[in-house]
Amino acid sequence: MLARELGLAPARIRQRAQIVLRDMVHDCSNSTVPFLRLDPIRAQLQVSQAEDALLAREALVADLTRILEQLSRQAPHQVDSDVDHLTQEDLALHAGVHCRTVRRWRDQGLIFEWSKYQEKVQLLVSRVEADRFFKARPPRTSRGFRHSEEVKRLSLLDPEQAKHIPRETLRRWKNQGKRRDRVREDRAAGLAWRWGIPAYRWNRHAGISDDTRRRRVQRDRVRRLQQINANHGIVAPPRVSGAPEAVHHFVQNRWVAHKMIVALQPSSPFDLIVEAEDVLRRCGWWYPKCFEGTPQQDGALAALLAAILAGESVRFAGRLRIEVERAQHGVLRPWDASDPFGFALPGFGCRRELLSDDLRALATRWLGMDQDAPSSWLELCPNRGRRGRTQDQRLILQAAGPFRPGLKKSGDLSVAAKIF
């Protein structure tokens, strides 16, 4: 409403409003007050009165900057050729950032205005104004990495580093009929998360951007979870009474994992994908602990677990006795007490002796030990940023390596080959 009133105002009022808006954007962006009132702003701009409102300072700076850009679009002023002016692309090149970062800066108080420069109407900012904005910004802090010696900072200006291909460029290539080797890109994205290989190597190898690699990594992890879920089906919530603790935890975690995996999409948040993997890993940790009896009892328990996962209502003690009697009469189903999920999940076979002490403790809690169940990855580092958690996970995956020590038999290797 404020922008509409100023846009319909006479030229004299619009020119004065631009001067007032510039001062207000500078004052508000440098202020530390979290909320500002709308009534004093209307009074300074000399526009009609309306009901007052309490606005967030960041949102108000963004709105006032956009209003100022709209007013300058109606009457672009001629800029002096002696003063250096920059477009968004020029400023991104000057600051060493992406153009989308400059667009975010416009919402944070960097004022661009439509101006006549070199016989063209362009969205410009003076270099003096840009330098003043940079000086007013707080100094850059660490990204949250704990292992700075193993992290390589990427620069978009360094031609030797990874190529950054925006989505608009990918669409343009597609319209031009250029073909891409998506098999190689998928393989690169899969290796980047599965074996902890640094991402910048595979970006350079496959010629894809960070955004493309992240999307393919998420799609790869979701597909693997869906494949595991389909190979070990569960169709209904478990209904079992009187079961031991291990059986109860296994079937409950299996149902929770099934619901989470069914709800996943390749575009789901990364934290949901990691949480589904953790629940499935916890489910696999409980599974071998269900089999602690004789071979006949274990075979009967395998048949009983299949009935529970199929949705039957089971009273554990009586139904197990029936299955044991069936086993005594030769009706024995094949069964395997090993973890059916672990070798297909990230971090399986991690060589923890290759990690530092803090990362070794983190990997032990995340992947679990014989006496301790695996913990959720998001609960292990609640105060750590997303970039730091991702870096820790990459180093743990790197310690797992492409050659997994848990797969030594030819049969196990064939199963792994099908899954991977």
Q: What is the DSSP letter of 292?
A: -
Measuring CA to CA, how many Å separate 178 from each of 165, 175, 181, 214, 374? 14, 8, 10, 22, 46
Burial class (CB in 10 A: 0-12, 13-18, 19+), 340: middle
| All domains in the chain, ordered by first residue | 1-75 (no CATH), 77-138 (1.10.10), 217-419 (no CATH)
pLDDT in tens, 182-225: 666 666 666 666 656 666 566 666 677 777 777 888 888 898 89
Q: What is the percent of the chain with per-residue pLDDT over 90, rounded to a whole number? A: 6
* Both tokens assigned to 353: 């002796």
Where residue 413 falls (left for φ over 0; alpha for ψ -120 to 50; beta otherwise) is alpha
Choice among 128-142, 248-262, 294-308, 341-355 with the minimum mean pLDDT: 128-142
pLDDT at 316: 81
pLDDT at 148: 34
CB of 324 within 8 A of CB of 361? no
**CA 373, CA 187: separation in Å to the nearest integer?**
32
Q: Who contacts 49 (Cβ-Cβ below 8 Å, separation ≥6)?
A: 39, 42
H-only helix segments in 287-347: 295-309, 316-328
Q: Who contacts 253 (Cβ-Cβ below 8 Å, separation ≥6)?
A: 279, 280, 282, 283, 286
pTM of the model: 0.52
State the average pLDDT over residues 145-169.
Answer: 38
Choice among 132-141, 148-157, 290-299, 337-346 with the minimum mean pLDDT: 148-157
**CA 199, CA 196: separation in Å to the nearest integer?**
8
Confidence bin at 162 (pLDDT 50/70/90): very low
CA 246 to chain centroid = 33
pLDDT in tens, 299-338: 888 888 888 888 888 888 787 888 888 777 766 666 777 8
The whole-chain average pLDDT of the chain stands at: 76
pLDDT in tens, 32-81: 777 777 777 777 776 666 667 777 778 778 888 888 888 888 878 787 77
- Beta-bridge partner residues of 120: 117
Which residue spans within 264-406 are E strands per DSSP? 313-315
CB of 234 within 8 A of CB of 283? no
- Beta-bridge partner residues of 36: 55
User: Helices then strands (H, E): number in the chain?
Assistant: 19, 8
pLDDT at 154: 30
